[in-house]
Structures are given as C-alpha cells and as structure tokens.
Amino acid sequence: MKLGRKRAEKLEFGIFTLPILISVIAVFYYPFVMTIRYSLTKWNGISKHPKFVGLDNFKQIFLGDTNFTHATWFTVKYAILYIVLVNVLAILLALVLDMKLKSTTWLRAAFFIPYILSLVIVGFIWKFIFMQGFESLGVSTGWSIFGLSWLGKPGLAFISVLLVSIWQSIGFYLVIYIAGLQSVPDDLKEAATVDGAGPFRRFFSVTLPLLAPSITISVFMALTNSIKVFDVILSLTGGGPGGTTYSVAYDIYRDTFQNNLYGYGTAKALILFVAVLIITIIQLTIFKRREVEA
C-alpha cells in the first residue's frame, strides 16, 4: 500500500510539474541554446542557412568594435550613477515619508505613479518637455538653464537620460525602503535616544544596518535595470547626439534589427547576459555577507 501511495504521489507530482518544465525549456533554455548557436554564425535574419564563423564575431567585438566599447563605457557610467543616486534619494525620501505626515499617502502615490508608466512613454513625454517645455520656461523665467540643449549635447544628453530614468523609477525603490523602515523596531530607536544618540547617529548605527535586506534588493534591481537600459534611450535620444548615448542594449538592437547583423548582435547579447550574470552573483554575494555581519 505504501509503495503504491508513493508511486501515486510521484506520478501526481510529475503530472503537475511537467507542464511547467516544458514551458521553462521552451521559453528559456531552448532560446538560450539557439542564442549560443547563432552567435557563432554570420546571419542576416532571413537566410535559411546561417554561415558558421566560429568565434569571429567575438573577436571583432572585443578587438575592433569601437561602438561596443563606447556603449560599454556609457553603460558603466550610467549604471554606477543610477545605482548610487536612485538608492540615496529613495532612502532620503523614505525617511521623510515615514514621519507620519498628513500628506504621506498622497506623496507616496505621487512618487509611485511614474513607475506605472512605460519608460518609452516617459521618454516621449520628457522629450517634449526638454525640447518645447523648457523653451517656454526659459522665455517666461529668463533662466539660462532652460535654454540649454539638453538633448543636443553629449554631456547634457547623458544627464537627461539619467534624470528621466531616476524620476520614473524612484517610486519603486521608495516603496521597498519604506517597508524596510517600518520593520525597524521602535524599541531600538527609543533605546538609542535614551543613550543620547542624535538623529544621524541613530540612522547610521540603528536604522541603516537594519535596512540591509532592503538595500540588497534595491541595489540588485537597480543594477540589473541599469545594465539593460534601452527603452528610455530609444524614445528620448534615439542614441544621439552622434551615438554618444548608445547603451550596450541599444547597440545590440541597432546591429540586430537595423543593420540586420543577427549573428553579430546575438553574440553581443550573449556577452551582455554573461556580464549581467557575473556582476549579479558578485553583488548578491557581497551584500548577503554584509547582511549576516549586520
């Protein structure tokens, strides 16, 4: 009876998990294997028989593709600044909104609403603001900052992409940090106050260490999102001016779908996947270790 029951349980388990396994294989593993295959070919996306070129695509990427080098440097700068700024600003805003103000609920909703919108839509909205809205503000206020070419100069275009991305996504990280602050025991804060600790001392000695899990999640999300940045660039700058705002993801899109270099673009996509995987593992290992120490 026990053997029959165990076999029935295993059969039941297999019946329920088989559709999921098939879906995972079809959606993830099979496309990943095909990605590796096409990265070793020269293919225009149309021909039935891609030409096998071995590691030539990877050699060209690392040794002769200046666009990929510039896109990588742009992505690294963007990722570092985005991760630092969005997390610091989100923590500061979370501290303010955790003070039980009368308008706290409305302010939380106001900060979170932009996150609901697609970055493509947000990019087009801010493109209109930078090109026409700022011009009107410059005329009415006389401030020279509104007369700058925010999308026409490389440095300002980079800042524009960064600011729009932070504005759109900060509400998401704000929610994470507010949840983390609400899980900090009030007893510890009161004990620190009794011991004579000031606001800054309480924050850095009590609150911040207990926010470690929230920081880990937020930095992980910010890291992966910043490395894969694409949609805001597509709608806001289109990679301009002069290709100075190409990210790695946008460079892959341009080579693959605009230049019809599917094999070459797939090789770049595979490199991006490996880079994101390695960086994510390192980041999670370091932050989890600090959580244990805290």
Q: What is the DSSP string of 209-231?
A: HHTHHHHHHHHHHHHHHHHT--H
Q: Does any domain span residue 183? A: yes
State if pTM tops 0.85.
yes
- Vertex 224 angle, CA 223 and 228, to 5°: 115
Q: Does any domain span residue 121? A: yes
CB 169 within 8 A of CB 90: no
Each residue's pLDDT tens digit, 15-26 = 888 888 898 888
Q: Does any domain span residue 289? A: yes
Q: Does any domain span residue 56? A: no
Q: Report which DSSP code applies to 99.
A: S
Q: Does any domain span residue 143? A: yes
Domain that includes residue 177, residue range = 66-293
Q: And the tokens for 197?
A: 């600790």
Q: Does any domain span residue 181? A: yes
Q: Does any domain span residue 39? A: no
* Res 292 pLDDT > 60: no
Question: What number is the average pLDDT over the span 68-92?
Answer: 93
Question: What number is the average pLDDT over the span 192-200?
Answer: 73
What's the structural domain count of the chain?
Answer: 1
State how far the Cα of 182 lies from the Cα of 178, in Å rounded to an integer.
Answer: 6
| CATH number of 257's domain | 1.10.3720.10
Question: Residue 134's Cα: distance from chain center in Å?
Answer: 27
Each residue's pLDDT tens digit, 183-192 = 877 777 777 7
Q: Does any domain span residue 85? A: yes
